[in-house]
Amino acid sequence: MKTTAAYTTYTAWDLALDDDFIRWVKTPDAADNIFWEKFLADHPYKATTLQEARALLLHYTFAPAPVDAVVVENIWQQLQLTQENISQRRSLLRRLGRQWRYAAVILLLITAGIFSYRHFRAVNTVVITGAGEMRRITFADGSQVVLNQQSRLRYNNRHPYTVQLEGEAYFTIRKSAHAPFTVQCSRGNIQVLGTAFNVNTQQQLLKVVLEQGAVQVVPANPALPAKKMQPGEMVTMDAQGLHTKRVHAAWHTAWRNNQLLFSDAPLAEIFTYLTDVYGWQFVIQDQLTLANKRFNGTAPANAPGQLLEKISTIYQLKMERRADTVFISKSSKH
């Protein structure tokens, strides 16, 4: 186990992915309790970080990107076979004259090149998250992707990276002028040189919120111009075109910390979000008009029912959930 000082620079996400910390949260023993109690005693300012990390572990499931054991075994067998072939060819080379030896060397290099291309070319990986599950993917250059629940990310093992996203993800990309990062979505691509941003592809929309750095959104429709974004901007792309507005970036990235965070949000937009993420359907009864009603507030991302309770209290509504359908009517107290 690391020393207590080694954890002083860890964020909540770093702790949630640390094997020793996971063991303490999931299956603690006396030694683990002593270690982490000493850590808090030595570094009391990290108490909040530990609480956030524990919440992430208790409310979400983290899993590494899958590794195909069959592919690994096949590559290993091919390496062994190639080594045997190389040994046999070396024996043959010693028996050949100089002229034929050069030809044999060229043939050997071509064979090795074909083998390298076949077995070490880019390998595609698909990561899929279910309800209540997040995954964190780290690339070779240190760039990271946090994939939200009920989302899908496809990527390869080579640089420059090009990933395909369905759902929602938060990207932290290392700056590289020679190897730009590209996020491909159904309605367009996001080209990145180094930045932190959120992408949401739900409800047939593409929403990009830029937190820091710079990205360029390139619509799939070639008739639409590309848009270079500034921090604090949100670009929304739908069938009608591309729209830009200023937003609070924290509202769109709070899910990473197990929060639902809304600022001056129309209720209709909140209900659409809950449909996308949790699969809930909303039925409005009693000829209610909610078009002009907006909400400011937070709720735990793993307990969205608390959000409905707050909205119903503020606007004196009755919200009755039956399975995955929420019926909204006037409150009897109204």
Residue 326 confidence (pLDDT):
94
Q: List the chain pLDDT tens, one digit each, 334 residues.
A: 678 788 888 887 778 778 888 888 888 888 888 888 888 888 878 887 887 787 777 665 555 544 444 444 555 555 556 566 656 656 655 655 555 555 555 555 555 555 554 444 556 789 999 887 889 998 877 889 999 988 999 988 665 578 999 999 999 988 876 667 899 998 899 988 778 999 998 777 899 999 999 899 999 888 888 999 999 999 988 888 889 988 878 878 888 888 888 888 889 888 888 887 777 899 998 778 888 899 998 898 888 899 999 999 999 999 999 988 999 998 876 5
49, 47, 52, 57: which is closest to 24 by C-alpha? 57
201, 56, 209: which is closest to 135 by C-alpha? 56
Question: What is the number of H-type helices and E-type strands within the chain?
Answer: 9, 17
Among all chains, which residue has been given the structure tokens 């659409």? 272
**Beta-strand runs (E) in 239-287:** 241-246, 259-266, 281-284
Residue 292 confidence (pLDDT):
85
User: Identity (one letter) of the amino acid at 1?
Assistant: M
Helix (H, G, I), strand (E, B) or coil at 135: strand
User: Identity (one letter) of the amino acid at 80?
Assistant: Q
Among all chains, which residue has been given the structure tokens 């020793």? 20
Residue 308 confidence (pLDDT):
93
pLDDT in tens, 117-144: 444 455 678 999 988 788 999 887 788 9
Please answer whether residues 24 and 32 qualify as being in contact, where contact means their C-beta atoms are separated by less than 8 angstroms. yes
Residue 59 confidence (pLDDT):
61
- For residue 303, count other CB atoms closer than 10 A to its CB: 12
Q: Could you write out the DSSP letters of every residue in 82-132?
A: HHHHHHHHHHHHHHS-HHHHHHHHHHHHHHHHHHHHHHHS--EEEEE--TT
Q: Which two tokens stand for residue 87?
A: 């040994």
Residue 311 confidence (pLDDT):
93
Residue 37 confidence (pLDDT):
84
What's the rounded Cα separation, in Å, for the pair 148 and 146? 6
Residue 146 confidence (pLDDT):
93
Residue 205 confidence (pLDDT):
84
321, 196, 180, 310: which is closest to 250 by C-alpha? 196
Q: Are strands 162-166 and 181-185 parallel, antiparallel or unpaired?
A: parallel
Among all chains, which residue has been given the structure tokens 């941003």? 197
Q: How far is CA 112 from CA 78, 102, 219, in A?
A: 11, 15, 41
Please answer whether residues 161 and 155 qualify as being in contact, where contact means their C-beta atoms are separated by less than 8 angstroms. yes
Give the angle subtended at the CA of 168 by the CAs of 164 and 172, to the nearest 5°: 75
- What pTM was estimated for this model as a whole? 0.54
